[in-house]
Amino acid sequence: MPESDLHLDLSPTGPRRAALAAALRDAVRTGRLAPGTRLPPYRALAADLGVARNTVADAYAALVAEGWLTARQGSGTRVAERVAARPTSAPGKPPPHAAHAPHDLRQGQPDATAFPRTAWIAAVRRAVTAAPHDAYAPGDPQGRPELRAALADHLARVRGVRTSPDHIVICSGVAHGLRLLLGGGVLAGPLAVEPYGLPFHRGILDAAGVRTVALGLDPAGARTDLLATHPGTTGRHGARAVLLTPAHQFPTGGPLAPARRTAAVDWARARGGVVLEDDYDGEFRYDREPVGAVQGLDPDHVVHLGSVSKSLSPAIRLGWMVLPPRLTDAVLAAKGQREAWAGVTDQLALADFLTSGQYDRHVRRMRQRYRTRRAALLDALARTAPHVEVTGIAAGLHAVLRLPDGTEAATVAAAARAGLALDGLAAFRHPDSPQPHRDGLVVGYATPPDHRFPAALDALRRVLPPPPQHGAGAA
Amino acid sequence: MPESDLHLDLSPTGPRRAALAAALRDAVRTGRLAPGTRLPPYRALAADLGVARNTVADAYAALVAEGWLTARQGSGTRVAERVAARPTSAPGKPPPHAAHAPHDLRQGQPDATAFPRTAWIAAVRRAVTAAPHDAYAPGDPQGRPELRAALADHLARVRGVRTSPDHIVICSGVAHGLRLLLGGGVLAGPLAVEPYGLPFHRGILDAAGVRTVALGLDPAGARTDLLATHPGTTGRHGARAVLLTPAHQFPTGGPLAPARRTAAVDWARARGGVVLEDDYDGEFRYDREPVGAVQGLDPDHVVHLGSVSKSLSPAIRLGWMVLPPRLTDAVLAAKGQREAWAGVTDQLALADFLTSGQYDRHVRRMRQRYRTRRAALLDALARTAPHVEVTGIAAGLHAVLRLPDGTEAATVAAAARAGLALDGLAAFRHPDSPQPHRDGLVVGYATPPDHRFPAALDALRRVLPPPPQHGAGAA
């Protein structure tokens, strides 16, 4: 800390040197000045306090003599290395997710060790250096133009999205997008949803007072073909918006069939409503059939939502909404006069990451890595638990393991006892889902670092229920 | 773009080469593939689409022959430089604040040209390189431990705040802090406030359904001495929290007198309530009297809120709450399971900026720059408008110019006509303020870049009302 700023309350009367020494002593004693902290130069502190330079020098010298401070040639005056008690310090409490299970197969998290640090630092350097000065003024709530232009190109190329930078709004993630759309007065509830989904999103909708209407689900995906006749999505008070995960139903895993995509868009047109397309992992597909965004079918009736949470890291808080032009102004109004959420450094760096090709390169590298893990998961299950059906693995960062009826809760509990973090399918089920639950596990195979993945698979294998006994009395 | 990802929908029947060529042609024609975009290598696209490598090579060659693509040795195959129409592109609309007034003396914005880019880039590089892997996992909603530790030391040293990293929660700005505290169920309304304040904050409180009760204001600051008897802050349904700007009343400019600070804390203790201390510009003081944080008086009854909006840039979306220990869990519960707002790169970089001394160095440099501007403002007014009283200039990035009664609205209108952006004091007045309004202008002297500041002062001088005529008939 070569130059420190320091606030001291000097008693207004009495000798300045003694008052300053007392104030410094108090600051060290109470822990306000931490051990090792470098004090400001005499000159600087003297100017701040309106006292003579020698007064500061004398006070420092007195405290060095008393052992509160240390002075060493070339490193200035520092607080001595003694433990200073902080008055309000509570006993150390681990943060909520610090208590890691030894094995982590929770869905939704990319391998944190794979974040492309060097490339990201380079992107920050290039982007911050090149940014115009207004990048550091209060931000446009629509998001940086560099990023919106890069996203318009990228999403067109990779996801088949048709838009212009004018109709993209940057946010801090898909959840923020949902808050703006449904809590910000842009769209009114109720909202039709899939019968399985992210509980976190349902929590946001509940907090915004938005009622959700669960659709059915079959092998072709959510029953959007019934939107036009479903009692919750017809009539004056029925839903005019539907939230879907068309590329990869979350978390059960199938893509929405072409006819169901068309049905959703047709319904939105007929109702004057919108389809909210949560494209949470559209970039990670392993089979031969790319599944484009529904948005490309009708940019005027689909809001396309995405983020970098899966592709880069959930710690980079950036997402986007591609909006029907008629909704753009309302979303901007909900967001406010100035950008209050998305930091400019991340926005500029992501724009550079996209246009320089680093983003594609990283996604390609991760897709290869996850493909290998997915193969290892399938191989381990085929060898040791061939009775467990695996679904939803054509895309994304997780698989669904179908379990025999009535075994899910016990399996999740056994996993917890074995130090294996994962979720049962029931955790994602809408409380009013119209169809019966099927037992299953949601296995995120992207979460652990590479070297811990085999052990996590081994832990998984050990907690899976045995094959159902046919003819139990046969033995 | 050395390696591109590309989504294409191939017709499922017919020759692959023709289908691919048609899909590529369509992508270029509709603008999904922008001019200059580099196409993926044959090998990569072939693998993605499940076609032979030669099929891709042939399709590329056909489109090069047709003029859609160009191929050059060493730079791969790119989309030809012809303008591709984007179907939903609207006519260019400037973002809300792009229509800059020629002169900008609005308050609250530091000089955007002074952001310390080089030092910030270096901090990002150091911090991202050194971060543990879990930095890129889903974030702890309390904020990175590196940043909370750095802030605990910094705020103790510079502002006299007494806390520990356990009781700091990172947020994306002071406004986000208020949303969490008052919209998140941590504190119930009504809330006592100063009679002048930021309309943006009042808007947040209104949106959260929190009624505000305006206190009076005199030269010693907000009338916290009346909190114990004020009808809005006593009784069962009275306010139990008061929002203050003790270092520098916003925007009128005085510090809260010592007796008023004590009165606020005493009231909070007696009511079982809290003081919310918005320390929005506590680091920018120009006189000899440092004004410490009220939080230091009673860490159990004061929430200290701050951000980097004034000290670094409003485009870096980071703020903090220093909380009474009994409130920490409730604030974390309001924030959610994972960090949804504050990006990890900014958090890590700010921690480095604080502990490396770069933050202090930047604040010191800016304080000197703003001191010079403040002197230029005072000098210009003394020379050309000696009848205009200037107040609130011991600290911060703005001054208040007192105007003759009844001239404020006309002066603000004249400024707008002259291309000078600034606000009248009335814009900040609480609608139920208990005392009459005094006309004035709020002049932010930090906003323009250095080279435009003299012209902005000149524009200001020209719109100020003339001195009141005493004995108008004397001529």
Query: Among residues A315, A441, A355, which one has the least CA distance to residue A390?
Result: A441
Beta bridge partners of A420: A103
Band of pLDDT at residue A471, cut at 50, 70 and 90: low
Sign of CA pseudo-dihedral B44, B45, B47, B53: negative
pLDDT score, position A99? 44
- Domains of chain B, earliest start first: 16-79 (1.10.10.10), 98-114+361-463 (3.90.1150.10), 117-357 (3.40.640.10)
Smallest Cα–Cα separation from A224: which of A254, A261, A198? A261
Contact call for A125 and B128, based on CB within 8 A: no
pLDDT band at A104 (very low <50, low <70, confident <90, very high): very high
**Would you say residue B141 has pLDDT above 70?**
yes
According to the model, what pLDDT value does residue B453 have? 94
Rounded percentage of chain B residues whose pLDDT exceeds 70: 91
Q: What is d(CA A467, CA B266) in angstroms, rounded to the nearest whole number? A: 68
Give φ, ψ of B211 to 5 degrees. Answer: -80, 140
Which pLDDT score is estimated for B30?
72
* Residue A47, pLDDT score: 79
| Chain-centre distance for alpha carbon B263 | 31
Whether pLDDT at A327 is above 70:
yes
The reported pLDDT for the residue numbered B164 is: 97
Which of A29, A144, A157 has the most B C-beta neighbours within 10 Å, making it the best mutation to test the interface with B?
A157
For residues A190 and B351, what is the distance between their CA atoms, to the nearest angstrom?
43
Q: What per-residue confidence (pLDDT) applies to B87?
A: 33
The pLDDT assigned to A431 comes to: 92
Q: Which of B74-88, B254-268, B380-394 has the least mean pLDDT?
A: B74-88
Q: Indicate whether B66 pLDDT > 70.
A: no
- pLDDT of B230 above 60: yes
Other beta carbons within 10 angstroms of residue A170's beta carbon come to 26
Report which residue type is found at B237. H
Distance CA A143, CA A320 (A): 9
**pLDDT for position A244:** 98
| DSSP annotation of A181 | I
Asked if B125 lies within 8 A of A125 by C-beta distance, the reply is yes
Among A88, A325, A344, whose Cβ lies nearest the Cβ of B315? A344
- Nearest by CB to B137, which of A166, A315, A360? A315
Rounded mean pLDDT, B23-43: 80
Sign of CA dihedral A116, A119, A122, A123: negative
pLDDT the model gives residue A288 = 63
| A300/B32 Cβ within 8 A | no
Mean pLDDT of chain A: 88
Pairing of strands B76-79, A423-424: unpaired
B356/B53 Cα distance (integer angstroms): 53
A208 vs A204: CA distance, rounded Å? 6
Residues with Cβ < 8 Å from A311, sequence gap 6 or more? A110, A283, A284, A359, A362, A363, A366
- Output the pLDDT for position A226: 96
Q: What are phi and psi of B204, to 5 degrees?
A: -65, -40
Q: What is the mean pLDDT of residues B308-312?
A: 96
Position B441 pLDDT exceeds 80: yes
What tokens were used for B252? Answer: 């009128």
CA-nearest residue of chain B to A144? B95
Interchain proximity B314–A117, CB inside 8 Å: no
Rounded to an integer, the average pLDDT of B288-293 is: 75
**φ, ψ (nearest 5 deg) of residue B12:** -70, -15
Query: Cα–Cα distance between A294 and B7 in angstroms, integer?
Result: 13
Q: Rounded to whole angstroms, how far apart are CA atoms B268 and B274? A: 5
Average the pLDDT over A121-148 and give the result: 97
pLDDT of residue B65: 62
- Laid out side by side, the sheet with B168-171 consists of B168-171, B319-322, B302-307, B274-278, B241-244, B191-193, B212-214
* Per-residue confidence (pLDDT) for residue B73, from 0 to 100: 65
Our measurement of the distance from residue B323's CA atom to the centroid of its chain's CA atoms, rounded to an integer in Å, reads 21
Tokens of B72: 């050059």
Distance from CA of B473 to the nearest CA of A (A): 48
**Chain-chain contact of B162 with A137 (C-beta, under 8 angstroms):** no
**Among the listed ranges A7-11, A192-196, A423-427, B126-130, which one has the minimum average pLDDT value?**
A7-11
Radius of gyration of chain A (CA): 29
User: How many CB pairs below 8 A link A and B?
Assistant: 304
Beta pairing, strands A241-244 & B398-402: unpaired
**Between A93, A112, A120, which is nearest B166 by CB?**
A93
Best mutation target among A3, A136, A355 (most B Cβ atoms within 10 Å) is A136
B67 compared with B426, residue with greater pLDDT: B426
Decide if A155 contacts A163 (C-beta within 8 A). yes
Q: What is the pLDDT of residue B289?
A: 62
Output the CA torsion sign for A188, A189, A193, A196. Answer: positive
Q: What average pLDDT does chain B have? A: 88
Burial of A231 (0-12, 13-18, 19+ CB in 10 A): exposed
Q: What is the pLDDT of residues B337-368, one digit of tens each?
A: 899 999 999 999 999 999 999 999 999 999 99
Separation CA A224–CA A277 (nearest Å): 13
Would you state the structure tokens that stand for residue A64, as one six-digit string?
């060095």
B235: its two tokens: 């009784």
Contact by Cβ (8 Å): B336, B356:
no
Q: Is the pLDDT of residue B390 over 80?
A: yes
Mean pLDDT in residue range A50-57: 82
Q: Quick check: B49 and A343 CB within 8 A? A: no
**Local structure of A334: helix, strand or coil:** helix
User: Which pLDDT does position A424 carry in this prediction?
Assistant: 96
Give the gap in angstroms from C-alpha B173 to the nearest C-alpha of chain A.
Answer: 7
Cβ neighbourhood burial of B118 (10 Å; 0-12, 13-18, 19+) = exposed
Q: Could you tell me if the ipTM is greater than 0.90?
A: no
pLDDT classification of A35: cutoffs 50, 70, 90: confident
Pair of tokens at residue B137:
């996992």
Report which secondary-structure segment, H or E, holds B169.
strand B168-171
Distances in Å between the Cα of B410 and the Cα atoms of A51, B405, B441, B463, B470 are: 45, 11, 11, 9, 20
Percent of chain A with pLDDT over 70: 91
- The alpha carbon of residue A454 is apart from the nearest alpha carbon of chain B, in Å, by 19
| pLDDT tens-digit readout, A179-191 | 999 988 899 989 9
The predicted-structure confidence for A354-388, as pLDDT tens digits, reads as follows: 999 999 999 999 999 999 999 999 999 999 999 99
> Residue B345: how many CA atoms within 13 Å on its side-chain side?
31
User: How large is the angle between the packed helices A408-417 and A453-463, nearest 10 degrees?
Assistant: 130
**Which pLDDT score, from 0 to 100, does residue B90 have?**
37
User: Scanning the structure block, which residue is given the tokens 């918005």?
Assistant: B278
- All residues of chain A having their beta carbon less than 8 Å from the beta carbon of residue B138 are 97, 109, 314-315
Residues 6+ apart with CB under 8 A from B48: A290, B6, B40
The alpha-carbon gap from B68 to the nearest alpha carbon of chain A, in Å, equals 15
According to the model, what pLDDT value does residue B288 have?
63
Q: Among the residues of B100-255, which ranges form H helices?
A: 117-130, 145-159, 174-178, 199-207
β-strands A191-193, B241-244 pairing: unpaired
Task: Note the residue count of chain B.
Answer: 475
Using an 8 Å CB-CB cutoff, list chain A residues near B3.
Answer: 357, 360-361, 364
Question: Which of B6, B125, B357 is closest, CB to CB, to A121?
Answer: B125
Is residue B266 classed as helix, strand or coil in its secondary structure? Answer: helix
Asked if the Cβ–Cβ distance from A176 to B317 is below 8 Å, we say no
pTM, two decimal places: 0.82
A5: nearest CB among B112, B158, B346: B158
pLDDT at A76: 80
Cβ atoms of B113 and B449 closer than 8 Å: yes
Q: Is the pLDDT of residue B156 over 70?
A: yes
Q: Percentage of chain B surpassing pLDDT 90?
A: 68
Higher pLDDT, B406 or A24: B406
CB contact under 8 A, A157 and B112: no
pLDDT digits 0-9 by tens, A270-306: 999 999 999 998 889 887 666 789 999 999 999 999 9
Write out the H or E segment, with its range, that includes residue B22.
helix B16-29
- Kindly give, in sequence order, each residue whose CB lies less than 8 Å from that of residue B378, ignoring residues fewer than 6 positions away: B390, B393
Spell out which residues of chain B touch residue A131, defining contact as CB-CB under 8 Å.
Answer: 117
Collect all residues of chain B within an 8 Å Cβ-Cβ radius of residue A343. Answer: 315-318, 343, 345-346
Quick one: which of B90, B75, B29, B22 has its CA closest to A156?
B29
How far apart are alpha carbons A30 and B160 in whole angstroms?
11
Residue B397, classed as helix, strand or coil, is coil
Name, in order, each residue with C-beta under 8 angstroms of B101's C-beta and a sequence gap of 6 or more.
B416, B419, B420, B421
In chain A, the residue whose alpha carbon lies closest to the alpha carbon of B111 is A137
Closest by CA to A86, choosing from B266, B319, B275, B166, is B166
pLDDT at B22: 77
B180-210: per-residue pLDDT in tens? 999 888 999 899 999 999 999 999 999 889 9
Tokens of A421: 């973090």
